[in-house]
């Protein structure tokens, strides 16, 4: 892995926060920086379909501002855990989640991706795209998938 940063995609869920803990441990061990990435990918549904999306209303009204605010909170917490001299870089991108994570990893030449698994099995696994699995299969660098 050398001196390359660790990329940790975050979606502000409990599982991505758990994966971030591993990313901090790995960054501390290898003495490298962390890159936090949030990909804005809102569901493509019209409100008249009767689908209810739970979450803070500001998340849907101004998703970029919401993501930036959440990342600032996370950065403050992560910096307290990181050894002195190591940095926490952030980026918010929009588009397809898998594509944006892979692009970020390539553009920033990261040494490792630490990503959370949604932990689905059986029929749920077949019906829902598994981002962590796609990243592990397509990334050019090592990937640590955290349950």
Task: Show the CA angle centred on residue 73, arms to residues 71 and 77, nearest 5°.
Answer: 110
Read off the pTM. Answer: 0.82
Tokens of 80: 């307290």
Mean pLDDT in runs of 10 for the chain (147 residues)? 86 92 96 95 51 51 84 94 94 93 97 85 53 94 94
Give the CATH number of domain 6-43+51-146. 3.40.50.620
Residue 63 contacts residue 11 (beta carbons within 8 Å): no
Taking phi over 0 as left and psi of -120 to 50 as alpha, with beta for the rest, 118 belongs to: alpha
| pLDDT score recorded for residue 49 | 46
| pLDDT score recorded for residue 43 | 55
The residue extents of the domains of the chain are 6-43+51-146
């Amino acid at each position: 892995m050398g001196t390359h940063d660790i990329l940790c995609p975050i979606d502000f869920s409990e599982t991505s926060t758990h994966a971030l803990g591993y990313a901090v441990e790995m960054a501390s061990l290898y003495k490298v920086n962390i890159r936090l990435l949030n990909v804005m990918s809102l569901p493509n549904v019209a409100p008249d379909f009767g689908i209810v999306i739970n979450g803070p209303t500001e998340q849907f009204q101004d998703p970029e501002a919401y993501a930036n605010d959440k990342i600032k909170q996370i950065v403050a917490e992560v910096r307290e855990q990181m050894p002195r001299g190591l940095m926490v870089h952030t980026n918010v991108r929009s588009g397809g989640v898998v594509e944006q994570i892979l692009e970020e990893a390539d553009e920033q030449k990261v040494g490792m991706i630490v990503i959370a698994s949604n932990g689905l099995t059986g029929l749920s696994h077949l019906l829902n795209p598994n981002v962590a699995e796609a990243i592990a299969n397509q990334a050019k660098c090592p990937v640590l998938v955290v349950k």
